[in-house]
Amino acid sequence: MQHARALIRGGRLGRITNVRCWLLADYSADPSGARTWRFEKDRAGTGVLGDLVSHGFDLAQFLVGEITDVTALTQTIITARPKPVGGAASHFSQGAVGELKPVENEDYVGVLARFASGAVGTFESSRVAVGPRAEYVIEVYGTEGSVRWNFQRLNELEVCLGLNEENHGYTTVMAGPSHGEFARFQPGAGTLMGFDDLKTIEAGLFLESVASGKQLAPSAADGWSAACVADAAEESAADGAWHKVGAISGTTTYDA
């Protein structure tokens, strides 16, 4: 994603026109999955808006810039789930047999967005999709190229630059020692980094930010901004109108 951002912010894709992002998961596709706190309005607030697609808002802003306006629709597909009985249950628990209780937030959301740059975006998320396990994809299109990334293949970035008729299409760029902190974990491309390696890098950036006084890692303001986009989408789903994203204060890394 750092490499994709450098291509985008460096103008290699031309003027950014549109962004597509979706986060499809199946952790709640089974109707017998336990009704944990994630399905309760008082304790969880929103469903996939806060749990899943907020990550998409955050990543899209890191790559392209600020989201200013959204309109959205939501749907609760599995409207009741069994209350957990006995021991602790997580949202991955299956086969619960307790009393059925209503699901109080959304299983699905679709969002249209406008960016401050003039680009537009589409976001989609579901926690009850049958098939995808954790399919988190973002595509960024410009007048001179595009990039595509899938969390399930997180060491690969698909890049298309220019309109060369003879060799037009995507090149798969493999993460390697020239990208970010990769060299601290692996000596060469092809031996892949994992999700927990990235968490180690995040922790290191946080500590370095505190020690240096310079914001290097994703900031609290970044999280606040993504939450404001989710809030605006929730308001839009309630009345069907376009909503402005609320203003925040603090240092964000997406406008650095």
CA distances from 201 to 146, 175, 176, 206, 234 (A): 26, 15, 15, 9, 32
Q: What is the pLDDT of residues 140-190, one digit of tens each?
A: 999 999 999 999 999 999 999 988 767 788 999 999 999 989 999 999 988
Q: Which residues pair with 18 in a beta bridge?
A: 120, 141
What 211-218 contacts at long range (C-beta under 8 Å, 24+ apart), as own/partner pairs, is 215/251, 215/253, 215/256, 217/253, 218/58, 218/62, 218/253
Q: Is residue 249 one of the residues assigned to a domain?
A: no
pLDDT given for residue 85 in this prediction:
72
Q: What is the CATH number for 45?
A: 3.30.360.10
Q: Is residue 197 one of the residues assigned to a domain?
A: no
How far apart CA 149 and CA 65 sit, in angstroms, is 17
Q: Give percent of the chain above pLDDT 90.
A: 82
Q: Is residue 209 one of the residues assigned to a domain?
A: no
Q: Is residue 121 one of the residues assigned to a domain?
A: yes
Count of domains forming the chain? 1
Q: Which domain holds residue 49?
A: 2-175+219-239
| Least confident range of 1-5, 25-29, 33-37, 251-255 | 251-255
Q: What is the pLDDT of residues 176-233, one digit of tens each?
A: 999 989 999 999 988 899 999 999 999 999 999 999 999 888 889 999 999 999 999 9
- For 102-140, b/e burial (b = at least 16 CB within 10 A) is ebbbbbbbbbbbbbeeebebebbbbbbbeebeebbbbbb
pLDDT given for residue 190 in this prediction:
86
Q: Is residue 115 one of the residues assigned to a domain?
A: yes
Q: Is residue 214 one of the residues assigned to a domain?
A: no
